[in-house]
Amino acid sequence: SLETGDRLKIAIQKSGRLHDDSMRLLKECGIDVSNGVNKLKSEASNFPLEVYFLRDDDIPQYVEDAVADIGFVGENVVYEKEKAVDVVEKLGFGKCRLSIAVRREEAYDKVASLNGKRIATSYPVLVKKFLDSNNITAEIHEISGSVEIAPGIGLADAICDLVSSGSTLFMNGLKESETILQSQAVLIKSKTLAPAKQLLLNKLLFRIQSVKKARN
Ligand code: PRT
Ligand code: ZN
């Protein structure tokens, strides 16, 4: 039997939008992982892989700390958290964009229209970078959820949140005005991966790339 140090440790989302596609990708790579309800940890039966099921927000920190060697997580989370990890491969699922939206009736012209506005978001780091790079001065209100209702209840003039179909914005009387990041799930890795783990990662990456090719 394998010592735990001989297995590659991967962090994936426990439940949510990335969970099923993450499990499916491992399966299509020929890796069998049982997914028991409320399990926090699982072991592949036919590949030296240990799977940790976590909140997506926590995955970059676990990988930076090398508690997990690698992880599947959205680019939006990776770049917001600013942890010291390497982005290795785009995975082709979890596609969305991080966008600024304003009230539909607002006369939004260009990015300068955001000057002096209050922007509600769960992505303060990425919004700040976007505003700074466009020389905009605006107030950022960090809130952790239900960002789309902020303009309707007078908490903010604009929001910045993830968009996929656009129907959430539409239902809340908002319109997309700027896209600040295109995002999808990526594989991240620790910066301190031991050579034996790197070899296992290379093996996994080769399979992921084959799956991606077969899907196209
Ligand atoms: O519990 P945990 O913290 O792990 O999960 P979570 O609730 O933070 O995240 P979850 O499961 O909602 O999303 C996980 C990841 O999926 C995100 O970090 C993105 O990388 C990716 N993703 C892809 C999305 C979307 N598409 C998406 N549409 N994440 C969120 N949304 C939300 C968005 O916030 C908005 O509320 O869906 C709504 C907009 O969708 P449309 O289709 O109406 O535009
Ligand atoms: Zn989350």
CA of 153 to the centre of ligand 2 (A): 24
Atom of ligand 1 nearest to the CA of 13: 4
- The pLDDT score that the predictor gives to residue 216 is 85
* CATH T-level fold of 4-94+185-215: D-Maltodextrin-Binding Protein; domain 2 (3.40.190)
Predicted confidence at residue 4, as pLDDT, reads 59
pTM (2 d.p.): 0.96
Alpha-carbon torsion, ordered 155, 57, 35, 201, to 10 deg = 150
Using the mean position of ligand 2's atoms as its centre, give its distance from the Cα of residue 92 in Å.
19
Which range has the worst mean pLDDT, 4-13, 18-27, 133-142, 157-166?
4-13
Q: Which residues contact 83 (CB under 8 A, 6 or more apart)?
A: 60, 61, 63, 64
97 lines ligand 1 (CB under 6 A): no
Calculate how far, in angstroms, residue 111's C-alpha sits from the geometric centre of ligand 1.
25
Q: Is 162 in the pocket of ligand 1 (CB under 6 A)?
A: yes
For the chain, domain boundaries: 4-94+185-215, 96-183
Separate counts of helices (H) and strands (E) for the chain: 6, 11
How far is residue 192's CA from residue 63's CA, in Å, rounded to a whole number? 10
For the complex shown, is ipTM > 0.90? yes
90, 183 contact by CB (below 8 A): no
Per the rule left: phi > 0, alpha: psi between -120 and 50, beta: everything else, 150 is alpha
pLDDT digits (tens, 9 = 90+) for 143-176: 999 999 999 999 999 999 999 999 999 999 999 9
Mean local confidence (pLDDT), 33-42: 84
Q: 158 in ligand 1 pocket by Cβ < 6 Å?
A: no
Confidence at residue 200, expressed as pLDDT on a 0 to 100 scale: 98
Q: How far is the CA of 55 from the centre of ligand 2 (A)?
A: 6
The residue to mutate among 22, 54, 56, 73, having the most atoms of ligand 1 within 8 angstroms of its beta carbon, is 56
CATH number of 96-183: 3.40.190.10
- Any idea what the Cα angle at residue 164 is, between residues 162 and 169, rounded to 5°? 70
